[in-house]
Copies of this chain bind each other. A is one copy, B any other.
Amino acid sequence: MNDAPRSDPSTSPLLLDLYQLTMFQAYVDQDMEQTAVFEFFVRRLPPRRGFLLAAGLEQVLSYLEDLRFTTAEIAWLERRGFSRRCCGRLARMRFTGDVHAVPEGTVMFPNEPLLRIVAPLPEAQLVESRLINLLHYQTMVASKAARCVLAAPGKTLIDFGMRRAHGAEAALYAARAAWIAGFHGSATVLAEARWDIPASGTMAHSFVQAHEGETEAFEHFARSRRKGVVLLVDTYDTEAAVRKVVRLAPRLRAEGIAIDAVRLDSGDLLALARRTRSILDEGGLQATGIFASGGLDEDQLRELVGAGAPIDGFGVGTALDTAADAPYLDCAYKLQEYAGVPRRKRSAGKETWPGRKQVYRRHDDGGQMCGDTLTLEEEVLAGDALLRPWMAGGKRLQPPESLATIRERAAAGIASLPPALRELEPTDSYPVTVSPALRALAEECDRRTGGAAFT
């Protein structure tokens, strides 16, 4: 397979849309190598969303740093019909541009750039597909996870979604995005191996079924695990299983093993949690917690928490990793300037703001976010400028941020959201205004290309 392109999707430079390569060739043919400016932003929030939580920048920076084509890949592209000149340029291709972006964990809103690429046009264009693929998914999942955090304050939240995440990379990055948003861990072991995100887990129904009885299953599991013992009690009859746990506990305690929690995974979780709590308390297991899972989303978390369900932690799986109620963001990576001239697209419903932009954010005296302004890069306003430089001339300007830093930033951002945006059904939208200078630039672009003013 020496002559074959690398086929691992996470690292292959061929994971892109064909048109990136055909446009690359056309640009190279015409020597269109001047500086292009592209920005990534979300056009509209999905239904019921009040904000976004930016995530995925670190993966974009790694992608840009590592992007190169092997000899085998270039040979394949030549066989595929790309010109010798195009293939020569691809063989030399390194990302040599600048990256500005908001740091991961920043609360963001529609039409605000999350990231800007300034690079020779062929490079800036080539990276579009994978850059969107990376930023879109983690931002979507972090934004969904933030809703779970808001719905269940003080509860332990664990990402359980690996099995129904869309493939391997989604499973891994969902754990990262959820951790950034304030989750306390993930069932996905690789997330701990890679980022020290605490892996957490219980047992499957099959474990109970493989044993002759539940008590035997619980006992074997507890003796093998010894610490962090969580027993699944809904395989046959939940209340009966909880009573078995109570009867088993003294025997395990004598061996120095505590039962940390029981897990409910089906049925009426509110009623079962109350019955379970009573049985555990009556059995002297006040220190044994209740963990719930089974198709949960932020709405069910809010309902259970609001009803005072005695549940200490939740596993959120499929709804989180697929962002099931809104499994994509209407996002784009658009050309804003080429060869020093601002550009804008005017396709119906898809108009963009031209030029290099900045976002200024204001907080009130209590530290609450109270409004953003979308400006040209060179404007200076009161408030915090959200976009920062991360890469210059293709080189990182600093080492990767720690996940702890990112997670703290997200927590601070979520804590400073206006009350209307802290609800699962936002009752108001956040004020984002556009600076007069940016409006003037958009009008100038339209005059140049003969279009109507941006409305």
Contacts of A73 in B (CB 8 A): 193
- Given A170-B167, A328-B318: A209 touches B18 (CB 8 Å cut-off): no
**CB of A397 closer than 8 Å to a CB of B:** no
Closest CB of chain B to A453's CB: distance in Å?
14
Q: Given A22-B224, A172-B15 in contact, is the A132-B201 Cβ separation under 8 Å? A: no
Q: Out of B236, B338, B348, which one reaches A209, CB within 8 Å?
A: B338
Flag if B133 contacts A335 (CB, 8 Å).
no
Whether, in the assembled complex, A402 has its beta carbon less than 8 Å from a beta carbon of chain B, the answer is no
Contact B169 A9 (CB under 8 A): yes
User: Residue A17 at the B interface, CB < 8 A?
Assistant: yes
User: Could you tell me if B26 and A221 are in contact, using CB atoms closer than 8 angstroms?
Assistant: yes
Q: Assuming A169-B10, A209-B344, is B163 touching A200 (CB within 8 A)?
A: no
Q: Which B residues are in CB contact (< 8 Å) with A266?
A: 347-350
List residues of chain B with CB within 8 A of the CB of A76: 193
A9 vs B267: C-alpha distance when bound (angstroms): 33
Q: How many copies does the complex hold?
A: 2
Q: At the interface, yes or no: A253 with Cβ under 8 Å from chain B?
A: no
Chain B's nearest CB lies how many Å from the CB of A97? 15
Per-position 1/0 for A135-179, Cβ under 8 A of B:
011000000000000000000000010111111111111000000
Contact of B166 with A334 in the complex, beta carbons under 8 Å: no
In the assembled complex, A11 has its CB within 8 A of some CB on chain B: yes
Query: Chain A 394-411 against B: per-residue CB contact (8 Å), 1 yes, 0 no?
Result: 000000000000000000
Q: Are B210 and A18 in contact (CB under 8 A)?
A: no
Q: Is the CB of B347 within 8 A of A205?
A: yes
Q: Kindly state whether residue A36 has any CB partner on chain B within 8 Å.
A: yes
Q: Which of A4, A32, A121, A193 has the most CB of B within 10 A?
A: A193
A375 within 8 A of B: no
Please report the C-alpha to C-alpha distance between residue A23 and residue B224 in the assembled complex, in whole angstroms: 9
Neighbouring B residues of A451 by C-beta, 8 Å = 236-237
Task: Name which of A184-192, A380-388, A432-440 contacts chain B.
Answer: A184-192
Q: Is A299's CB within 8 Å of the partner chain B?
A: no
A335 contacts which chain B residues (CB < 8 A)?
205-206, 209-210
- Give residues of chain A (1-36) contacting chain B, Cβ–Cβ below 8 Å: 4-5, 7-12, 14-19, 21-23, 25-27, 29-30, 32, 36
A167 contacts which chain B residues (CB < 8 A)?
A: 10, 133-134, 137, 166-170, 172-173
Given contacts A9-B10, A223-B29, contact A322 B449 (CB under 8 A): no
Mark A338-358 against chain B: 1 for CB-CB distance below 8 A, else 0.
100001111111100000000
Closest to A19 in B: B201
Other than the given A23-B206, A121-B210, 9 more pairs (CB < 8 A) read A15-B162, A15-B171, A18-B189, A21-B189, A81-B227, A133-B165, A166-B170, A234-B348, A322-B322
Q: Could you show 19 A-B contacts with beta carbons less than 8 Å apart?
A: A16-B162, A17-B201, A19-B203, A21-B189, A25-B225, A26-B203, A26-B220, A29-B220, A38-B206, A128-B163, A133-B164, A134-B167, A136-B163, A166-B170, A167-B167, A167-B168, A206-B334, A322-B327, A323-B327
Q: Which residues of A contact B (CB under 8 A)?
A: 4-5, 7-12, 14-19, 21-23, 25-27, 29-30, 32, 36, 38, 73, 76, 80-81, 83, 121, 125, 128-130, 132-134, 136-137, 160, 162-173, 187-190, 192-194, 199-207, 209-210, 220-221, 223-225, 227, 234-237, 265-267, 318, 321-324, 327-329, 331, 334-335, 338, 343-350, 449-451
